[in-house]
Structure 1
Amino acid sequence: MSPALSLLPALLLAAAAAAAEPECPTKCGDVDIPFPFGIGTRCSRSKGFEISCVNNGTAAVPVLRSAGGARTIPVASLSVAPRPEAKVMLPVAYKCYGPAGRRVRASDGRVDLRSSSVFRISDSRNMFVVLGCNTGAWMNSGANGGGRYNYQYYMGCFTYCAGPESPTDGRCASVGCCHVDIPPGLTDNAVYFEQWPHNGMEHSPCDIAFLVDRDGYEFRAADLRMDVRRSSMPVWLDWAIRDDDGALTCAAAKGRAGYACVSANSECVDSINGPGYFCRCKEGFKGNPYKYEGGCTSEEPISLVTSTPLKEEQVMLRCSYYTSPI
């Protein structure tokens, strides 16, 4: 074996070691953290894309923070393709009563992502659900609108039960459970409950309401007795590039410093859930359009198989092409 070929295993191992120790971490626990997101400001595109990786006592968990940092929001997944979205876990809102019908504890489940945030609550993938017997609830959302109404949006529904056996698994049509669609553009929510009599309703001790993935929740009568203080629901967030310089559309952003679609094979798309834009790979390419190197690459597989034997110098040339430089 020639000296050049004898060095090949060492070169491949060195390249693999370099690739295994990136400058910025790409995972937190079991969750991938793709750019423009990053753990810490130095590794993310901007503060809006910063993810914290915290230990919850048993495992590492990625979280983002609500407005003012008042609440940490666990992140279940982040993606740039095929659509820009994040799945998070949000708390339920509740108002619970004792046997005599007096309120014993309550939470409005408030979450505020800020109007300047990169995130919007997905109207296409979530719904608002109310659980309980003799229960009415609505969600206040959007910035203060002034005038007759304090908020831009009010949405809610009402439930009733003739008795403990009325609610039926899989049915959410106002008997123990109801649901409504939500509008686009939401960055926040807080739940308010109607004050109705609850004495003698041990089968439904709490009024409960929450946002939830419309494909990830099916009503069960047992949910009327869920542990509300420990419960959270999966909710989808849309995200987009929303820079402070006013470049909130593709037409305005292209050509400016900080334009996010940096891969040679990427294209820009205007957001349909709030202002801003996002990037995607052109047809026939896949990968991360927000990265210069290794961004959008061809979907056609690259073959190393040849019909004729390779010369020694050809072997070294191909190996150098498919490994990282040392």
Structure 2
Amino acid sequence: MLFWESSGAMGFHSMLVLVTWVGVMLTAIMAAAAIAYPLALPNCSDSCGDVKIPYPFGTSEGCYRKESRDFFINCSKSYGQPDQPMTGNLPVTNISIEGEMDIMMYNAINCYNQSGTPLSNNTEPWLQVPSFTVSVTKNKFVAVGCDTYAYLNGILNGKGFSIGCLSRCNDTSNIVDGSCSGIGCCQIDIPEGLTDIDFAAYSFKNHSYVWSFNPCSFAFIIQKDEFSFSSAYLTSLQNNETFPMVLDWAIGNETCKVAQNKGNYICGGNSTCSDLKNGSGPGYRCKCKKGYDGNPYLKDGCQDGNPYLKDGCQDIDECNDKSKCPGKQICVNEVGSYHCSCIKGYHKVEEVCVPRGSSLTIYLAVGISIISLLVLLLGCSWIYYGLKKRKIIKLKEKFFHQNGGLLLKQQLSNHQKSMETTKIFTTEELKKATNNYDESRVLGQGGYGTVYRGVLSDNTVVAIKKSKIGDQSQIEQFINEMIVLTQINHRNVVKLFGCCLETEVPLLVYEFITNGTLSNHVHDKSLSSLLSWEKRLKIATEIAGALAYLHSSTSMSIIHRDVKTAEYTIG
């Protein structure tokens, strides 16, 4: 809400009174339809003018909490207004059971005449109510003026405390409406738990250089959502005597744990106690439990000398809300709660009211729905895995044809008698043989690829060579070499058992030799010592014989151009 200048038909204070009156009227209309819970002690007034006065506050002796006079509300006829509630010398506009009090706080004004002489209307507001603290979440401290500084003093954690604010400007050209950043207006946050406050506005040079457009310094505490700065306030705020402000209130200066063991504990039945949070001050507050409403500070028995027969927190009849139990249900109120029951002729099935006798139909429908859903899920899964399996089969067929599988089958059939032991393996057979090519099965690695140790289904131990790359242009030559290699039968040449053509690069399956390579025996110190010159000469002779066999004794000469000790095994 923006401030209204008093030079017009309606000033800020008048506008506030009008808005407050409209709000009160609307609240009264709504409250008339609601259940009225007791707010005050018996035989005590629960209002002053248009303001409700809930206990622990009261307007007369014996009606407010006796441990602190801070809860006394003076219901006077001050300022020509009938029944105006006051705390000290400040008007009260609202008291909340949740722990807040809305008041009208005075404006600190410091004015000068054109020659720089202070005027007599200067004010320095103060508030000394130890049970109340300035709400840090609802208020801010503001200073307005172009030759202004202001201080806010108070008690914080038992010690004196002060904060200040500075506002300067030479003219109105740099002032931005809505901005309170130090040019014509400054504002600061208020520390938590501040009590017993006073504040004042001051001038650096008695407004001598800015008097034509700003003769006064102003300082005030105001609700955050009630103020938006305007350059017009540099002159008009001297007509605003008070501003809306919020105080926090609590009971005593003890925690719930301590207070509950004392005779002056105030929380009534069906309520809970909560300590103040974030250091906003000492004491505790009371709150009605869920399912209850009313004033939690009232309780059974004799309270502050007054007999009281019923707790302030009373059961809420949730069934007054017709939306609580929709459909074919009726609402049944319980103490602190409620439940929904079906109307006559209906009963609950899965939290839904259905006609009696229709349970079997509903269960059957639910059962059929569940079965249908399961069938649908199983069907979708079966189709998905079927399509996936079909894709894998097609990919295997593609690689088999790509790697010359048909040509190899034809050659094998042409050499059936001489190649009875030669086999075309499937990918599943070799995966099983190598435990899905587990790293622990690796016998050796190199630029050509990796060799794995495998165990076939008949417990034959084999060496499976998995090459890195393949040459599609050499497929026919590869198949012809396969046919030749499978026909080799020499005791010093490792036998080729077969191959697998269902992968991108063909896999070769060889006879497994257990004693390692010649390179291991020659270069390993512990093994080389066992190789006498006679054994070394014999190995060389047998290698030469094997090479001679490959070069001249096979149906197709195999010329080995890269003889290495790492490729020769010791049988």
TM-score range, shorter chain: 0.7 to 0.9
Q: Tell me how many residue pairs correspond in the alignment.
A: 267
- Aligned residues of 1:93 and 1:106 also touching (Cα < 8 A): no
1:267 aligns with 2:272: yes
Q: Which has the larger radius of gyration?
A: 2
The C-alpha deviation readout for 1:108-150, integer Å capped at 9, x for no partner, is: 5331324xx22111112111000001212222222798xxxxx
Distance change in 2, residues 1:144/1:124 (3 Å): closer
Distance change in 2, residues 1:217/1:227 (3 Å): closer
Distance change in 2, residues 1:194/1:96 (3 Å): closer
1:289 aligns with 2:267: no
Aligned to 2:82: 59
The C-alpha deviation readout for 1:141-191, integer Å capped at 9, x for no partner, is: 22798xxxxx63221221122313433321211111110001112111222
- For residue 279 of structure 1, report the CA deviation from its aligned partner: 0.4
1:98 aligns with 2:104: no
Normalising by structure 2, report the TM-score. Answer: 0.44
Aligned to 1:34: 54
- Aligned residues of 2:103 and 2:245 also touching (Cα < 8 A): yes
- Aligned residues of 2:270 and 2:313 also touching (Cα < 8 A): yes
Normalising by structure 1, report the TM-score. Answer: 0.75
1:176-325 equivalences under 5 Å are 176-187=184-195, 188-200=197-209, 201-226=211-236, 228=238, 230-242=240-252, 248-262=254-268, 264-272=269-277, 273-292=280-299, 293=310, 295-302=312-319
Q: Distance in 1 between matches of 2:281 and 2:199?
A: 19
Structure 1: tracts of 5 or more residues without a match: 1-15, 17-21, 66-71, 146-150, 306-326
Distance change in 2, residues 1:230/1:177 (3 Å): closer
What percent identity do the matched residue pairs reach? 35
Q: Distance in 1 between matches of 2:85 and 2:282?
A: 26
- The letter for the 2-side match of 1:37 is F
- The letter for the 1-side match of 2:225 is D
Aligned to 1:109: 124
1:50 aligns with 2:72: yes
- Aligned residues of 1:99 and 1:199 also touching (Cα < 8 A): yes
1:142-157 equivalences under 5 Å are 142=155, 152-157=160-165
- For residue 197 of structure 1, report the CA deviation from its aligned partner: 4.6
Aligned to 1:69: none
From the two aligned structures, give the one with the greater strand fraction. 1
Distance change in 2, residues 1:113/1:221 (3 Å): same
From the two aligned structures, give the one with the greater helix fraction. 2
Q: Distance in 1 between matches of 2:48 and 2:212?
A: 41
- Aligned residues of 1:139 and 1:192 also touching (Cα < 8 A): no
- The letter for the 1-side match of 2:84 is V
- For residue 288 of structure 1, report the CA deviation from its aligned partner: 0.9
More displaced 10-residue stretch of structure 1: 205-214 or 37-46: 37-46
- Aligned residues of 1:281 and 1:296 also touching (Cα < 8 A): yes
- The letter for the 2-side match of 1:152 is G
Aligned partner of residue 278 in structure 1, secondary structure: strand
Q: Distance in 2 between matches of 1:131 and 1:270?
A: 36
Q: After TM superposition, where is structure 1 displaced by more than 6 Å over at least 4 residues in a row?
A: none
Distance change in 2, residues 1:249/1:111 (3 Å): same
The C-alpha deviation readout for 1:273-309, integer Å capped at 9, x for no partner, is: 2111110112232221011225223344356x9xxxx
Higher relative contact order, chain-length normalized (CA < 8 Å, sep 6+): 1
- Aligned residues of 1:128 and 1:156 also touching (Cα < 8 A): no
- For residue 202 of structure 1, report the CA deviation from its aligned partner: 2.1
Q: Distance in 2 between matches of 1:101 and 1:286?
A: 58
Aligned to 1:7: none
Aligned-CA RMSD value: 2.7
Structure 2: tracts of 5 or more residues without a match: 1-35, 37-41, 300-309, 323-571
